Amino acid sequence: MGVLDSVLTVALLTAVGAGAYGYIAHEKLLTTQATLDHHTEMLASCAHDKETMRAEAEKRAADIASTLKASQVELDELRAQRAEADKRLAAFQALTDKFRKMIDSGKLQVILRHGRMVVKLPAGILFASGSADVSKDGKTALVDVAAILKQMPERRFMIAGHTDNVPVTPPSPFKNNLQLSTARAETVTEQLIAAGMNPAHLSAAGYSEYEPVRENGSDSGRQENRRIEIVLSPEIADLPTVPGDLAPASAASATPGPPTVR
């Protein structure tokens, strides 16, 4: 081989080597770029996941805070209800204590019905059958009742007459149980006024047989249903305030009217 051939051979080998090196370098560059792209995607994905996790955490924290606030409101409401229930129970116990002597003697009962305190007197203690005239013992009992109720001057009272479902018959002067129950309620109201109670704080109503406390199918049930109830209206402080209550009372409305016997 001549010198020229040797030179060409070396040049050829050098070119081939350079090409191979360039190819390898190019492949490494592509691999490196691919790796870089992969890591860039991973970083972007991690950043997105981190943002998502942060958003979810913030939402959970907001939900927990909202639930906690609602629970606190509910707890406050339950505490207020408990305080109101305790207040009502204390008032009921105080009323029961005032009437203890009459309760123990069987002249009356103090009960809670429809959310109100009620003094219940059996009709048999106050009236003869079919009559609205108060007996002597009944008048004595009503004087004692009035003496206790006068200790609550801010209260209003409704006197409610109730009968059983047995129709009224002669010699009773009343046509039906509605007339009888109403007349009895009015008579008791008049007796309480005579005993010194404030007429402006009293009203009367007859319910006939339509609000029984027991079944009328037995003598004992009918006896329970024949009764006079003195219902204590809630105190003004216990009632919710409405806009109309905030207006100043007129002179006419502030002046007590005649007895509200109906």
Range(s) of the domain holding residue 174: 99-237
CA-wise closest residue to 172 among 184, 180, 181: 180
Calculate mean pLDDT across residues 59-82.
83
Q: What is the pLDDT of residue 171?
A: 92
- Residue environment code for 177-188, b if the CB has 16+ CB neighbours within 10 A, otherwise e: bbbbbbbbbbbb
Q: What percent of the chain clears pLDDT 90, i.e. is strictly above it?
A: 50
Q: Is the pLDDT of residue 196 over 80?
A: yes
Same domain as 14, residue 52? yes
Same domain as 203, residue 138? yes
Same domain as 208, residue 103? yes
Mean pLDDT value across the chain = 82
Q: What is the pLDDT of residue 246?
A: 42
Same domain as 148, residue 45? no
In a domain, 257, yes or no: no
Q: What is the pLDDT of residue 8?
A: 55
In a domain, 16, yes or no: yes
Same domain as 226, residue 104? yes
Q: What is the pLDDT of residue 56?
A: 79
Q: How far is CA 249 from CA 199, 252, 255, 258, 259, in A?
A: 20, 8, 10, 18, 20
Contact between residue 181 and residue 238 where contact means Cβ atoms under 8 Å apart:
no
Same domain as 212, residue 116? yes
Q: What is the pLDDT of residue 29?
A: 72
**φ, ψ for residue 257, nearest 5 deg:** -95, -165
Domain count, the chain: 2
In a domain, 152, yes or no: yes
Q: Is the pLDDT of residue 244 over 80?
A: no
Calculate mean pLDDT across residues 206-232.
96
Instruction: Tell me the pLDDT tens digit for each residue of 15-29.
Output: 555 565 566 666 777
CA-wise closest residue to 129 among 193, 195, 84, 174: 174
Distance separating alpha carbons of residues 191 and 37, to the nearest angstrom: 101
In a domain, 246, yes or no: no
CB proximity list for 153: less than 8 A, separation 6 or greater:
198, 201
Same domain as 219, residue 122? yes
Q: What is the pLDDT of residue 181?
A: 98
Q: Is the pLDDT of residue 106 over 60?
A: yes
Same domain as 157, residue 203? yes
Q: What is the pLDDT of residue 242?
A: 44
CA-wise closest residue to 117 among 139, 99, 142: 99
pLDDT band, residue 113 (cuts 50/70/90): confident
Residue with the larger pLDDT of the pair 21 and 49: 49
Instruction: Tell me the pLDDT tens digit for each residue of 153-177.
Output: 999 999 999 999 999 999 999 999 9
Distance separating alpha carbons of residues 141 and 89, to the nearest angstrom: 25
Q: Is the pLDDT of residue 243 over 50?
A: no
In a domain, 232, yes or no: yes
Calculate mean pLDDT across residues 230-250.
55
DSSP string covering 186-251: HHHHHHHHHTT--GGGEEEEE-TTSS-SS-TTSHHHHHHHSEEEEEEPPPGGGSPP-GGGGSPPPH
The C-alpha angle 65, 68, 71, rounded to 5 degrees, equals 150
In a domain, 63, yes or no: yes
CATH number of 209's domain: 3.30.1330.60
In a domain, 231, yes or no: yes
Q: Is the pLDDT of residue 2 over 70?
A: no
Instruction: Tell me the pLDDT tens digit for each residue of 124-151.
Output: 999 999 999 999 999 999 999 999 999 9
CA-wise closest residue to 145 among 182, 119, 118, 113: 119
Q: What is the pLDDT of residue 12?
A: 54
The lowest-confidence range among 47-51, 89-93, 251-255 is 251-255
Same domain as 223, residue 168? yes
Residue with the larger pLDDT of the pair 75 and 129: 129
Q: What is the pTM of this model?
A: 0.64
